[in-house]
């Protein structure tokens, strides 16, 4: 079967009415939560995970993926109109997007964000379509040592790219690993750290854990602050950018797409870093860098393209290697495992209908998003006016129902509340949740591959250094750790704002 | 803030020690045949080392600019506590009183007390939310909600 046949198969799956429905629901919800500050794709995907258990895996992933990349579209609306980023990946869009709105150019800013996102998303999907096979062929040559090293690499790079202290991020990763070992050991059948609690014999559930860490904690953080959302009062007109806007923005869109796509594949980078890097690059290549921050269209087009390209590029390592490059895809990995699918090189071979169905649905979803975001912008502006006191009880109720419905047990509800408190304290003391969740999802796979590697090598750790791919990834990971240590010894790591 | 960070580091060290001791009891096994405690021990030991490094970092390298107050200044932290208590009570009472009654009181509290809206709006909003969620989850997705002592839900 060549690639065209696979794409045809994908269209057959993706165009089924039920999948079109879930794709639409996904991108609609994605745009909605992207527009609403205070709830992100991680929390939403976590909240909806229990519901997706009741539908087919392909429809479930089509919907959840739609939420992920749809949120990247919606996030720009609040950045441009309210100067509050709907998503972390739209933080930089505030800088020039809001200034454009203040100058009466909210329309072109929103338009270029949506069109740039569409172009970047589509180009990125083409990359995903054609790179999936080479990646899969490469991954088929991987053994347990390579997988172990890649997972260690993913955890270290995610911690390296953490917003704050790397030590704190690594502490979170270790905490996540420890949490993942609670429950029955799959090799010996012995109970680990369960304290004779029967409900813990299967370990902590991914859903209550992420719902607590991201859903409940987000509500707890938001309700203690008084957020003022002043929607910029301007008539939104001329959504389609002018020829001059196009000439200025087209290279920014292309550069943003390339940056986002490749950073999306890399573990740890993701849409947030991609948008920051894109903004920095646009400022560097501009003939008038001093004008950035005053309403330059490249400052909107580049980052918005980058975050979309990154969101879709992230599916390459997830589907082909089974290694999630960021926290959202880590939850999707967990979801796939719950549905009984094992992401990795065999996923494309054994379930081509699933893989290509999801890929094709993303093309369709991108088209839907363009339609949702351009003509319906006035509606999203109205959504911004929904007060948080109405929104947060609904978020909490969905979390409660979601955690309960997984196994009809209040134990999971208590677990979720517990991790909600943990997540709240983590945020207060600048501990990031992403390394924790990534380590929690990868923990059992990491242990499995370490044990297998040691059995293959007869107990020698040298196996990780004698196999080239494993050795290279571990050396890069070690160098990253070393560079952070040296930088810390010399000076404080610059923040993202300082980079800009 | 420095003191709080130090206390947190010590808590991490305490957790790391507990995990290491627990892992030793589980058996570490050998390199040739790792036991169930092998990787948890490694993770616990690394957690301990990182926590010690963080403790040293915050104790000796905290610059004056970084010395801030606790992150609960200028925020309404009490609201979070009320919400947590409400959620815990909800989870505890759910099997006893059932989904409909339990959710009714939770929503009444969250919309009314926390949201400070007009009572008639809170009442109608609560009934609407319960109706919609019941239709979606119990009827459409067939989630088995607890019925409680009244047998409704």
Average pLDDT across each block of 10 residues of chain A; the chain has 500 residues. List them in order.
82 93 92 76 80 87 90 80 72 86 85 89 87 82 89 84 82 95 88 90 87 87 71 64 86 93 79 85 87 89 91 87 85 88 84 90 90 79 77 87 83 94 92 87 89 90 91 90 79 47
Q: At which residue do the structure tokens 């003391």 appear?
A: A429
- Are the Cβ atoms of B91 and A396 closer than 8 angstroms? no
For the CA atoms of B12, B14, B15, B21, what is the dihedral angle to 10 degrees?
140
* Element at A50 (helix H, strand E): helix A41-52
User: Which pLDDT value is given to residue A498?
Assistant: 44
Q: How close, in Å, is residue A174 to chain B by CA atoms?
A: 6
Burial of A37 (0-12, 13-18, 19+ CB in 10 A): buried
Please give the structure tokens belonging to residue A272.
């947030």
Nearest to B115 among A54, A390, A420 (CB): A390
User: Which pLDDT value is given to residue A251?
Assistant: 93
- Are the Cβ atoms of A389 and B116 closer than 8 angstroms? yes
- Are the Cβ atoms of B71 and A428 closer than 8 angstroms? yes
Which stretches of chain B score pLDDT less than 70?
61-70, 115-116, 152-153
**Single pTM value for the model:** 0.81
Q: Nearest residue of B to residue A408 by CA position?
A: B144
Q: Nearest residue of A to residue B93 by CA position?
A: A410
Q: At which residue do the structure tokens 């539908």 appear?
A: A55
CB A47 within 8 A of CB A402: yes
* Alpha carbons A169 and A401: distance in angstroms, whole number: 31
Which chain A positions have a beta carbon within 8 Å of B75's beta carbon? 224-225
- Contacts for A398 with CB less than 8 Å, ≥ 6 apart: A47, A215
* Alpha carbons B69 and B67: distance in angstroms, whole number: 7
Q: How close, in Å, is residue B151 to chain A by CA atoms?
A: 17
Top residue of B78, B82, B91, B103 to mutate, by most chain A CBs within 10 Å, is B91
The size of the A-B interface in CB pairs under 8 A is 157
| CA A24 to chain CA centroid, nearest Å | 19
Top residue of A174, A220, A396, A498 to mutate, by most chain B CBs within 10 Å, is A174
- Contacts for B145 with CB less than 8 Å, ≥ 6 apart: A404, B98, B99, B100, B134, B137, B138, B153
Nearest to B110 among A168, A393, A429 (CB): A393
CB A57 within 8 A of CB A336: yes
- Are the Cβ atoms of A393 and B129 closer than 8 angstroms? yes
Nearest to A408 among B36, B76, B144 (CB): B144
- Are the Cβ atoms of B47 and A174 closer than 8 angstroms? yes
* Element at B49 (helix H, strand E): helix B38-60
User: Which pLDDT value is given to residue A231?
Assistant: 56
Which chain B positions have a beta carbon within 8 Å of A222's beta carbon? none
Q: Which of A483, A450, A451, A416 is nearest to A211 (CA)?
A: A416
- Are the Cβ atoms of B111 and A165 closer than 8 angstroms? no
- Are the Cβ atoms of A193 and B19 closer than 8 angstroms? yes
CB B140 within 8 A of CB A398: no
Nearest to A396 among B46, B75, B110 (CB): B110
A7, A155, A190, A240, B63 from A126: Cα distances, Å: 11, 28, 47, 25, 49
Nearest to B22 among A175, A193, A226 (CB): A193
Angle of helix A3-14 relative to helix A352-373, nearest 10 degrees, comes to: 60
A85, A158, A430 from A163: Cα distances, Å: 17, 10, 9
Nearest to B79 among A181, A224, A390 (CB): A224
Sign (positive/negative) of CA torsion A95, A99, A105, A107?
positive
Q: Hey, which residues does B34 pair with through a beta bridge? A: B29
Q: At which residue do the structure tokens 């003509």 appear?
A: A375
């Amino acid at each position: 079967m060549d690639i065209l046949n696979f794409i045809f198969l994908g269209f057959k799956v993706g165009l089924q009415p039920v999948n079109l429905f879930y794709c639409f629901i996904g991108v609609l919800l994605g745009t909605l939560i992207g527009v609403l500050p205070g709830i992100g794709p991680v929390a939403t995907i976590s909240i909806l995970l229990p519901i997706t258990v009741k539908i087919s895996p392909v429809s479930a992933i089509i919907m959840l993926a739609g939420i992920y990349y749809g949120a990247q579209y919606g996030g720009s609306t609040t950045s441009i109109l309210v100067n509050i980023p709907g998503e972390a990946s739209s933080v930089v869009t505030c800088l020039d997007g809001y200034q454009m709105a203040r100058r009466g150019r909210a329309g072109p800013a929103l338009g270029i964000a949506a069109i740039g996102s569409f172009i970047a998303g589509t180009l990125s999907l083409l990359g995903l379509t054609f790179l999936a096979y080479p990646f899969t062929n490469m991954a088929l040559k991987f053994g347990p040592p390579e997988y172990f090293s890649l997972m260690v690499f993913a955890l270290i790079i995610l911690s390296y790219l953490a917003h704050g202290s790397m030590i704190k991020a690594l502490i979170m990763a270790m905490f996540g690993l420890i949490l993942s070992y609670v429950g029955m050991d799959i090799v010996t059948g012995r109970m680990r750290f369960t304290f004779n609690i029967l409900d813990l014999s299967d370990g902590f559930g991914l859903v209550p854990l992420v719902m607590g860490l991201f859903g409940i904690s987000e509500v707890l953080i938001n309700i203690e602050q008084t957020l003022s959302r002043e929607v910029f009062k301007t008539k939104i007109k001329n959504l389609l950018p002018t020829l001059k806007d196009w000439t200025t923005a087209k290279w920014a869109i292309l550069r943003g797409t390339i940056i986002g796509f490749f950073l999306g594949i890399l573990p740890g980078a993701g849409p947030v870093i991609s948008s920051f890097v894109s903004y920095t690059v646009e400022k560097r290549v501009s003939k008038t860098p001093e004008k950035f921050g005053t309403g330059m269209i490249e400052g909107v087009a580049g980052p918005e393209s980058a975050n979309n390209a990154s969101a879709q590029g992230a599916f390459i390592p997830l589907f082909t290697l089974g290694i999630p490059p960021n926290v959202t895809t880590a939850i999707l990995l967990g979801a796939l495992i719950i549905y009984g699918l094992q992401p990795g090189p065999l996923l494309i071979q054994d379930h081509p209908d699933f893989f290509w169905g999801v890929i094709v649905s993303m093309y369709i979803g991108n088209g839907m998003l363009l339609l949702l975001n351009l003509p319906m912008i006035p509606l999203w502006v109205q959504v911004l006016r929904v007060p948080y006191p109405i929104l947060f009880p609904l978020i909490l109720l969905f979390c409660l129902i979601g955690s309960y419905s997984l196994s009809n047990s209040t134990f999971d509800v208590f677990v979720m509340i517990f991790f909600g408190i943990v997540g709240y304290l983590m945020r207060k003391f600048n501990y990031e949740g992403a390394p924790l969740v990534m380590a929690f999802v990868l923990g059992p796979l990491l242990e499995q591959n370490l044990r297998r590697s040691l059995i293959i090598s007869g107990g020698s750790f040298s196996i990780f250094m004698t196999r080239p791919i494993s050795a290279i990834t571990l050396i890069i990971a070690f160098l990253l750790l070393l560079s952070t240590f040296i930088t810390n010894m010399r000076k404080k790591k610059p923040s993202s704002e300082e980079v800009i | 803030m420095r003191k709080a960070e130090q206390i947190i580091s010590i808590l991490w060290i305490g957790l790391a020690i507990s995990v290491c001791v627990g892992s030793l009891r589980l058996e570490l096994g050998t390199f040739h045949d790792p036991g169930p405690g092998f990787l948890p021990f490694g993770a616990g030991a690394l957690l301990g080392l990182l926590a010690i490094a963080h403790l040293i970092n915050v104790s000796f390298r905290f610059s004056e600019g970084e010395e801030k107050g606790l992150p609960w200044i200028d925020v309404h932290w009490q609201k979070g506590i009320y919400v947590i208590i409400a959620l815990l009570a909800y989870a505890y009472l759910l099997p006893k009183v059932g989904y409909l009654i339990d959710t009714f009181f939770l929503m009444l509290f969250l919309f009314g007390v926390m949201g400070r809206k007009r009572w008639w709006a809170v009442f109608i909003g609560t009934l609407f939310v319960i109706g919609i969620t019941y239709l979606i989850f119990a009827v459409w997705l067939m989630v088995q909600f607890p019925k409680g002592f009244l047998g409704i839900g």
